[in-house]
Each structure stands twice: as structure tokens, then as C-alpha cells.
Amino acid sequence: MSEKKTSLFEESLKPLKNAAAILKLSSDVVEVLSSHERILTVTIPVKMDNGKIKVFTGYRAQHNTARGPAKGGIRYHPSVCLDEVKSLSYWMSIKNAVVGIPYGGGKGGITCNPKELSIGELERLTRGYAARIARFIGVDKDVPAPDVNTTAQIMGWIADEYYKIMGEYLPGVITSKSLSIGGSKGRDTATGRGAYFATLEAVKALNISLKGARVSIQGFGNAAQPMAQYLHELGSKIVAVSDSTAGVYNANGINPIALIEHKNKTKSVKGFPGTKAITTEDPITLDCDILIPAALETQITLKNADKVKAKLVVEEANGPTTPEADKILHDRGVFVIPDVLANAGGVTVSYFEWVQNRMGYYWSNEEVDEKLKRVMNEAFHDVYQTYLQCKVDMRTAAYVTAVRKIVDAMSALGRI
């Protein structure tokens, strides 16, 4: 059997359709949920260091704003395209509803390879993009944040450009800023921390011990690094890690703190002392107890789903598993904490940042952590109860809980 070539967005609608069948939604409501409210495409001419002008393409999509302003990151990557941005913004509507924070879904990006840009080019590109989308975003309209290859510095440039255009200091327009300009404590580790809290609840439900559990990780960036550290602290063994350049394996466990230092120094996990070289995809199928895809979309597919050895998959990446692969995992009894739940810690602390910006009053690390834990635990158990009651996989259960909330909001607004 081969996987049909359809768009990522079309594929991503399958769990929504499964949830809609359980919720007995009419086809016109499904059509509304399958449509974006607004999508903006922009071109950004940038003066490069060699004096030439290069034109980049960027996007910002707002999927559904019935539950609140659009919210979601900005990605800089060569693969960024309309189809990807549409998928990512729709996943944000679902994710924000799963964890019950008052936002709709948004996402943006620029098709570029930031690794080939100088710091000056990156700043000019970012400021150009910010100027193009300035009228489209806003504290109560659409609130961006970082995603793959975007950082607190990039958020700072966007904020600065936005303030200049609007003539006001409005820090709630963007999240994951540096602490000095209204960022929240705990935001840099929030995605990993949230995934960790969800994992703690999952292992209790599944009766797996984290102490000694073998963990395999694909992708070693903002999402994966804190998660690896929390699991390591609890006594799990990080046996495999890969990034976009290489992979490393040690059956006795890799120290994630030392690996982060190595990656910071060399820009790669490659050659980490005491490890064997593996490929970037090997972590998916290696013998382990917990698999953490934390890189990009479409990594667990028809080609490798039957080779996944883990009992538990924690999707820190967005969309790492195709619907066909999802079915294989479910049929084989692999428990998946789906992306819209597993990685929701990032947007949850972004929400806390936005709340603090609006109040002008800032919380301690402990307050942020305690609130994040509460949100993640409640979301996990909401989804897990639906999973038990409806006898569906965890992804469908997450979509059922999310879609119910979005439909209630659309109905209360009289939109459907």
C-alpha cells in the first residue's frame, strides 16, 4: 500500500472529520471548520549584503477566531508554503481549544533558509515581514510567536516594527519576547515542560515507569532540549537523538546537558563523544520505550509506522504522524500523546505572557510552572476521558474535545 499524494492540509483534516462524525456535526459545519477566515500572502524585498535585492514570500493565516484572537507562531524555513501555513494555523485552533485557552488559530512564515542569511539580512527580512503583516495582527486580533528557526530576538524586531507603525507600546501583540521587553518567565522551556507534564500523566495511566525508560528523540531544538533534560533528571535514559544534520546513539544513555553544549559549540549532535552515528530518521524506529518526534511534519508514515518499537509516542513536533501511520500505531497498541496536546505548553505560557502584558504585572517562575501544570493535567485528563468513553485513539479524542468547544463558540456567536 502506498500513501496517496495529497496536500498536508487535506490530510490534516482527517482527524477533524473523524471527530465530526462522533459529534454528529452537519457537513456545512465541517465545511466552516475546514475553511480559513483569512490568509495573507506578502512579498518582502530585502537588500542583501552584496547590494542586490532579493524578494522573499511570507504568509499569515487565521483559521478560526470564534474562541478568541488568532494565535500561533512564525516559521522561517525553505519548506514554508501556503499549504503548510494553512495546516499549522488550523492545528493551532484545535490546540488552543484542547488546552482551553481563549484563542483561535493562526500561523505564519517566510520561505527562506535563515542559516544562509547574515544577521543584518535576517533583521531586514523580519522587519519587512512585520511591516507587511502589521495591520493584520494585533493584541486582540492575531498574536504571533516563534516556531521553527525563529527566536526571541526575531520577536523583538517584529514588536519594535509594530510599535513604530502603530505609534504605541503594545507588548501583547507578540509572545516569547525577551524578559526585558515583557516576556514571561518559563516561556523558553514551556513546550518541553508541558510535554513533560502530559507524559507524567500518560505514564501513570499506562503504568510505565519513567525511571530507566529508554527515550529516543528526533529533532534537538527548543521543543526537545528541555524535555530531554526533565526526563533525564527523572532517571530516563536518552538513548538516541538526531537533528537535521546527524544522529547519535548510546544504549547506556546520553547526557542531554552535555549534548546541548556540544550542539551549541559545533552546531550539530554529530560526533558527540561516546556515541555511535545513526541517521536523522533512525530515532523513529530504534528500540526504545518512549519516542519523541520533535522535528518537522510527516516523519512517522506508512513506510516506518510498523517499525516503531516505542509503547508511548509524545508528539512535540506538529504533525509528525500521517493519518495512515496513526491508524497503524493505534492498531498496534502504541499510545500517542497527539501534537495538539503534547506541545501545547508553549502556547499556554504564551497565553500567560499575553495576560501579564495586558495587566502590566509579572509572575514568578513558580507561578507560571504551577499554572502550566494545572492546564496540562486538566487537558490530558479531558482528552483521556474522551478516549476511554468514545473508544477512539487519543488524537481523535483530542479533536472531539476541541471541536466541541469551537462549535459551541461559533454557535454562541450565531455564526452557525
Which residues are annotated as catalytic? 107
Asked whether position 275 contacts ligand NAD by CB under 6 A, the answer is no
Find where cell 487519543 sits: 394
Compute φ and ψ for 356, nearest 5 degrees.
-65, -40
Applying CB under 6 A, among 294, 329, 400, 407 the residue interacting with ligand NAD is 294
Give least dist CB 134 to ligand NAD, A.
23
- Number of residue whose CB is nearest ligand NAD: 221
> What one-letter code names the amino acid at 33?
L
Residue closer to ligand NAD (CB basis): 25 or 188: 188
Residue closer to ligand NAD (CB basis): 243 or 353: 243
| Per-residue mark of binding to ligand NAD, 301-340 (x: CB under 6 A) | ---------------xxx----------------------
DSSP 351-389: HHHHHHHHHT----HHHHHHHHHHHHHHHHHHHHHHHHH
Asked whether position 296 contacts ligand NAD by CB under 6 A, the answer is yes
Asked whether position 341 contacts ligand NAD by CB under 6 A, the answer is no
Applying CB under 6 A, among 199, 242, 322, 357 the residue interacting with ligand NAD is 242
Residue closer to ligand NAD (CB basis): 178 or 280: 280
Distance CA 190, CA 227 (A): 9
Segment near ligand NAD (CB under 6 A); pick from 37-45, 212-220, 305-313, 361-369: 212-220
Of the candidates 153, 222, 141, which has an alpha carbon nearest to the alpha carbon of residue 189?
222
Query: Cβ atoms within 10 A of the Cβ of 37, count?
Result: 17
Helix H or strand E segment including 277:
strand 276-278
Asked whether position 26 contacts ligand NAD by CB under 6 A, the answer is no
Segment near ligand NAD (CB under 6 A); pick from 59-67, 288-296, 302-310, 399-407: 288-296
Helix H or strand E segment including 112:
none
Segment near ligand NAD (CB under 6 A); pick from 14-22, 78-86, 152-160, 219-227: 219-227
Residue closer to ligand NAD (CB basis): 124 or 187: 187
3-state secondary structure 308-340: CCCCEEECCCCCCECHHHHHHHHHCCCEEECHH
Segment near ligand NAD (CB under 6 A); pick from 35-43, 128-136, 242-250, 353-361: 242-250
Residue closer to ligand NAD (CB basis): 224 or 291: 224
Asked whether position 244 contacts ligand NAD by CB under 6 A, the answer is yes
- Coil, strand, or helix at residue 195? helix
Asked whether position 353 contacts ligand NAD by CB under 6 A, the answer is no
Asked whether position 218 contacts ligand NAD by CB under 6 A, the answer is yes
Three cell numbers at 55?
A: 524578494
How far is it between the farthest Cα atoms of the chain? 62
Q: List strand residue ranges (DSSP E) for 104-249, in order.
A: 104-111, 142-146, 214-218, 237-242, 247-249
- Coil, strand, or helix at residue 203? helix
Q: Are 125 and 112 in contact (CB under 8 A)?
A: yes
Applying CB under 6 A, among 343, 348, 386, 396 the residue interacting with ligand NAD is 343
| Per-residue mark of binding to ligand NAD, 88-127 (x: CB under 6 A) | ----------------------------------------
Computed over its alpha carbons, how large is the radius of gyration of the chain?
A: 20
Segment near ligand NAD (CB under 6 A); pick from 59-67, 141-149, 226-234, 376-384: 141-149
Applying CB under 6 A, among 136, 220, 230, 272 the residue interacting with ligand NAD is 220
List Cα–Cα distances, 352 to 102, 151, 355, 399, 407, in angstroms.
Answer: 11, 18, 5, 23, 24
Asked whether position 398 contacts ligand NAD by CB under 6 A, the answer is no
Distance CA 397, CA 402 (A): 9
Asked whether position 217 contacts ligand NAD by CB under 6 A, the answer is no
Three cell numbers at 124?
A: 531586514
Asked whether position 270 contacts ligand NAD by CB under 6 A, the answer is no
List Cα–Cα distances, 171 to 39, 52, 273, in angstroms.
Answer: 23, 34, 43
Applying CB under 6 A, among 12, 64, 89, 149 the residue interacting with ligand NAD is 149
Residue closer to ligand NAD (CB basis): 221 or 323: 221
Q: Which residues bind ligand NAD (CB under 6 A)?
A: 147-149, 191, 218-224, 242-244, 280, 294-296, 316-318, 343, 346
